[in-house]
Structure 1
Amino acid sequence: MTTEPNESSRPALEPTPRNSRWQVRQPWLLGLVLACGILVGANPFRPSDQNPDLTARGYLKFKEILSYVDRDYVDSVNAEELSDYAITRMLERLDPHSVFIPAKRQQQASSFLQSDYDGIGVEFNMFRDTVTVVAPISEGPAEQAGLQPGDRILTVNGQRVSGVHFTTEQLFGKLRGPRGSAVQLQVLRHGLARPIGVQVTRNRIPNTSVDVAYMVDNQTGYIKVSRFASATYDEFKAALGDLRRQGLTRLVLDLRGNPGGYLDRATKIADEFIGGTKKIVYTDGKGDQYDTQTFSRVTGEFEEGALVVLVDEGSASAAEVLAGALQDHDRALLVGRRTFGKGLVQQPIALNDGSELRLTIARYYTPSGRSIQKSYGHGLAAYEKDLQNRADNGEYFHADSIHFADSLRYRTAHGRTVYGGGGIMPDMFVARDTSAQSAYYLRLQSLNLVREYSLNYYQDHKEELDALRFEQFSQSFRITDAQLQQLVARASRDGLAPNAAGLRRCAPLLRTQLKALIARSAYGKAAYFRILNQDDAEMQQALSAIQEPNNPLMLSLLGQ
């Protein structure tokens, strides 16, 4: 699912994500976000004067070679593309997270951390080269203009977009534009024989990073933070305050798949949980130029009460800072799997042509002194295979497959043993769901058939679903065997041969996903997460821990 794409004066860390479950992103952007951490603020960067002669000789050598290639090489070359390539390869020799962002990609890379953007406000997906509305953003221009889930966009301002192989970036460019400008869409709607015209006036669209917040029961709240963008702290404060008014006394904070973002947003959220004046994170760079320490300093909204934080291998950078600080101060129980292991700080340096260098200038450490950064001494290729190696070594399924050196042992405030040097290890390990490993399931997802079936089901049963309250739907609606077979038949028409064993393996996960996606169309985003979490192993483990009145580890964290 894709939405139209989309600041800070204090030190802040990164992008570093993984895909939020079943969310599609462009591969280059995903890689960039996984690679980057951002230290935002005044830019004190100056070229080093430690070896000025070596630097000058290297510069002149590169300039001379590029000039010869541009002038004399047998074929015509693009000198700018060659220099961009050379810069990228040079940075790979430093560390995995120092990156160069060409000017043409810089705006989209930065949009990941913006809190809003100008556009029509619609989530869309591509079903067989047709732009299909998954959901208009609540109260946005598209919803106000009458766009509905399942609408197929055929043309944008008279230009055909259906059946044409546009990239997601190209579609963004057509749907986005300055607020107040109009875009004319031709839309094919379920149940109508002919396309209809819809004019949408673009406006400012919120790009939220707190995906959902709701009460699981009359005491337990759930908040999912997908990244730390410019407005994340304000969104979190509003969500937490709303749950407190509903009676929240214990909280599950979901940081799974959170790639990071602005560090100061993450440390402000940590300050809401940690009382007194306590260290949250510190950074250590060359000399003392980039050495910083961040402490809790305000009276937080939730400094007491049971807290569980969900993490996994997609939780990275600023998300790891937040989780590590809460664990070091024994303020939260961490549930899930070992986090990504990204502990390098990047300084963004704007270049004259509009491109940007994000250069690693420090490492950050948790309050106990742990470095979260995993080893990158064996080169970029080995570093990029780390998560796959974890899977191959069985780490996602067995906690005892994970080994930390004794030299990386640290102690929390209450004396518990924790480890550094490769992500944050949770207090309670939960194995990854293996049903998604079915090759048949992966092909269904890659062909976008699960989402398409869900959207078609919603359109065919809209009146029935509208007549149900979400609570009724949640309790009574089931995906039947017959409906799974309809999905299999639809996949078969697209060339995916039926696979009874593969379907049987992933059927429970498919039933949950289909139900959640149908709920998304019928009742909104919160309903989607409520359904998913009912069968989510990490979430259920978190609820078991937080709702068990005599859980010894939780009692120790609460000082009882």
Structure 2
Amino acid sequence: MNLMSKPQPEYMEAPLRTARRPVRQPLLLALALGCGVLLGANPFRPSSQNPDGTVRGYLRFKEVLSYVDRDYVDSVNAEALSDYAIGRMLEQLDPHSTFIPAKQQQQAASFLQSDFDGVGVEFNIFHDTVTVVAPLSGGPADLSGLQPGDRIMAVNGERVSGIHITTEQMFGKLRGIRGSKVVLQLLRRRQAKPINVALIRNRIPNNSVDVAYLLDKQTGYIKISRFASGTYDEFKQALGDLRRQGMTSLVLDLRGNPGGYLDRATKLADEFIGGTRKLVYTDGKGDQYDTQTFSRVTGEFEEGPLVVLVDEGSASAAEVVAGALQDHDRALVVGRRTFGKGLVQQPIALNDGSELRLTIARYYTPSGRSIQKSYRKGLAAYEQDLQNRLRHGELFHADSIRFADSLRYHTDYGRTVYGGGGIMPDLFVPRDTSAFSAYYTRLQSHNLVREYALKYFQEHKAEIEALRPEQYLSSFRITDAQLQGLVELAAHDGMPANPTHLRTCASLLRNQLKAYIARSAYGKATYYAVLHEQDVEIKQALLAVSNGSANPIQKLSMK
């Protein structure tokens, strides 16, 4: 599915998975699209190429801040001013060097952690009310009997509904030290009075492999949302399970994957590439940050048809994987041009607990392509790049993309590929235009599709759960009456029906409603299986497997 039509990720106690990079929100900077991180010991020392200039700049800033703090007409928060100044300074360097204040560093770091302490519940916010989407299997919320549709009215006696609470604030209330107690006040359907449920926080897996299952009898599917600390182990487990089920070809979905740890990404790529071949290299100011990474282990899937799905939300480490597999002709890359984030950040712990993530090098694919798109026109233009792609038609027509001859490179078998920003797929798949209507966009922004699906599931829970997942997939349909129910809910929310726009996106809405109902009834695998019924990229991947183009090496060697 395209970015506009795919459902937004469920809110969880885990941090937000993707975020844009506004200059004045340090936490979102840390979670920004394309958060490539080079792991290793902190190599930085208090030295400088221009020590006199550094000292003069430091003393000048200290003097100005001291005057402001002492003499400015109003009281000021000197630390906040300092944080702001640091952010603006880094903004002059590149779009991805960031500063994370100490109070936000823990949440920023948890984006790449494989687990966290909490109660284990997916929630959403409907009409200023925190609503349970699903308890995570085996977690405290699940074991305590929380149900989809439960409305959380208070946490430890403190009201959380009707006060415009944010997702981040709710994270903070539900998460806590393992073994600590939290009491939720719930309002449950068909119960007149709220109930109190006490939970003991425990370790909750923060999985980055969203789902892994067989698309057909021999084609496996693995979706990776980011490259976190546990991604490689999760991937190996999923790959092994699929192989035991008879998988002989694989679709690796990196759409919307913003990146993460470089070493997890290269270890994953190594599972597909045989021999000793370059996977990626980095080039920095000096030899200190110049690295080359090669395949070195006998991978579990070095032969067999392989398709990698990418889109404009695939960034950083995800682009490293796609670029390596494409340069070595190991996989067919399907979708749209990736984000174009090829800058490497080194995390540097500062004395007060804050963190600097400083760009120290650039990523290059094995053929020599730079992944990073240009940021010479400044941060504002850089952040408008995806909108510009949409406006210029790139997301719908491959021939609207122009590459300079100077950026031409070649794969192992001589295929032409281009650098200059992002990975261009071998097989272009345009976005579906059915989502481009104001009515559809408002339905999504108000969470009305999810709200109606959850309400429908609650009202028909017994009859839906009486079906096996495969029966649900084959026989359940969203009727005109059910679609009209969504329209009426939207009208009640101040969103009158637009018949023309509704006709345009009706098929998409039916698919989403069926998927969200499946999420509540059966879990993620069935949820994704429903979404994939109308996923054009998945259909193209399966076609590539069947016609042999998903195995580029074999196809090229036969010519």
- Shorter-chain TM-score tier: over 0.9
Shift, 1:131, TM fit: 1.0
Structure 2 residue runs of 5 or longer lacking an equivalent are 1-9
Shift, 1:555, TM fit: 4.3
* Matched position secondary structure for 2:54: helix
How large is the Cα RMSD of the aligned pairs?
Answer: 1.7
Residue of structure 1 equivalent to 2:14: 5
Matches within 5 A, 1:208-227: 208-227=207-226
For residues 201 and 540 of structure 1, the distance between their equivalents in structure 2, rounded to whole angstroms, comes to 44
Deviation track 1:467-493 (CA, whole Å, cap 9, x = no partner) reads: 101111111111111111111111111
Residue of structure 1 equivalent to 2:155: 156
Choose 250-259 or 66-75, whichever is displaced more: 66-75
Residue of structure 1 equivalent to 2:435: 436
Shift, 1:72, TM fit: 1.1
Residue of structure 2 equivalent to 1:266: 265
Choose 368-377 or 28-37, whichever is displaced more: 28-37
For residues 558 and 119 of structure 1, the distance between their equivalents in structure 2, rounded to whole angstroms, comes to 52
Residue of structure 1 equivalent to 2:4: none
Residue of structure 1 equivalent to 2:195: 196
* Matched position secondary structure for 1:147: coil
The answer on 1:339 being equivalent to 2:338 is yes
Do the aligned residues in 2 keep the contact of 1:150 with 1:189 (CA within 8 Å)? Answer: yes
Choose 446-455 or 31-40, whichever is displaced more: 31-40
Structure 1 residue runs of 5 or longer lacking an equivalent are 7-14, 20-25
For residues 404 and 350 of structure 1, the distance between their equivalents in structure 2, rounded to whole angstroms, comes to 39
For residues 528 and 29 of structure 2, the distance between their equivalents in structure 1, rounded to whole angstroms, comes to 23
Residue of structure 1 equivalent to 2:455: 456
Deviation track 1:59-111 (CA, whole Å, cap 9, x = no partner) reads: 11111111111111111111111111111111111111111111121111111
Matches within 5 A, 1:147-546: 147-546=146-545
User: Structure 1's 552 and 176: CA in aligned 2 closer, same or farther, altered over 3 A?
Assistant: closer
For residues 558 and 225 of structure 2, the distance between their equivalents in structure 1, rounded to whole angstroms, comes to 30
Shift, 1:553, TM fit: 5.1
- Tell me the matched-pair count: 546
For residues 274 and 284 of structure 2, the distance between their equivalents in structure 1, rounded to whole angstroms, comes to 28
User: Structure 1's 140 and 216: CA in aligned 2 closer, same or farther, altered over 3 A?
Assistant: same
TM-score, scaled to structure 2: 0.95
Matches within 5 A, 1:61-210: 61-210=60-209
For residues 462 and 102 of structure 1, the distance between their equivalents in structure 2, rounded to whole angstroms, comes to 45
Do the aligned residues in 2 keep the contact of 1:35 with 1:96 (CA within 8 Å)? Answer: no
User: Structure 1's 557 and 267: CA in aligned 2 closer, same or farther, altered over 3 A?
Assistant: farther
Shift, 1:449, TM fit: 0.5
Shift, 1:498, TM fit: 1.4
For residues 29 and 479 of structure 2, the distance between their equivalents in structure 1, rounded to whole angstroms, comes to 35
Deviation track 1:128-179 (CA, whole Å, cap 9, x = no partner) reads: 1111100000111110110111111112112222212222222111111111
Moved over 3 A (4+): 15-19, 549-555, 557-560
For residues 55 and 287 of structure 1, the distance between their equivalents in structure 2, rounded to whole angstroms, comes to 19
Do the aligned residues in 2 keep the contact of 1:317 with 1:342 (CA within 8 Å)? Answer: yes
Deviation track 1:284-321 (CA, whole Å, cap 9, x = no partner) reads: 11110011111000010000000000000000000000
Shift, 1:385, TM fit: 0.6
For residues 41 and 471 of structure 1, the distance between their equivalents in structure 2, rounded to whole angstroms, comes to 46
* Matched position secondary structure for 1:273: coil
Do the aligned residues in 1 keep the contact of 2:311 with 2:337 (CA within 8 Å)? Answer: yes
For residues 494 and 348 of structure 2, the distance between their equivalents in structure 1, rounded to whole angstroms, comes to 48
* Matched position secondary structure for 2:288: coil
Shift, 1:188, TM fit: 1.4
Q: What residue identity is the alignment partner of 1:476?
A: S
Residue of structure 2 equivalent to 1:548: 547
Q: What residue identity is the alignment partner of 1:186?
A: Q
User: Structure 1's 53 and 554: CA in aligned 2 closer, same or farther, altered over 3 A?
Assistant: closer
User: Structure 1's 405 and 275: CA in aligned 2 closer, same or farther, altered over 3 A?
Assistant: same
User: Structure 1's 130 and 552: CA in aligned 2 closer, same or farther, altered over 3 A?
Assistant: closer
Choose 47-56 or 542-551, whichever is displaced more: 542-551
For residues 346 and 405 of structure 1, the distance between their equivalents in structure 2, rounded to whole angstroms, comes to 28
Do the aligned residues in 2 keep the contact of 1:306 with 1:554 (CA within 8 Å)? Answer: no
Paired-residue identity, %: 75
For residues 30 and 403 of structure 2, the distance between their equivalents in structure 1, rounded to whole angstroms, comes to 27
Do the aligned residues in 1 keep the contact of 2:331 with 2:552 (CA within 8 Å)? Answer: no
Residue of structure 1 equivalent to 2:7: none
For residues 235 and 82 of structure 1, the distance between their equivalents in structure 2, rounded to whole angstroms, comes to 42
Deviation track 1:359-400 (CA, whole Å, cap 9, x = no partner) reads: 100011110011000001111111111111101110000000
* Matched position secondary structure for 2:287: coil
Do the aligned residues in 2 keep the contact of 1:149 with 1:455 (CA within 8 Å)? Answer: yes
Do the aligned residues in 2 keep the contact of 1:36 with 1:99 (CA within 8 Å)? Answer: no
For residues 315 and 461 of structure 1, the distance between their equivalents in structure 2, rounded to whole angstroms, comes to 37
Choose 541-550 or 261-270, whichever is displaced more: 541-550
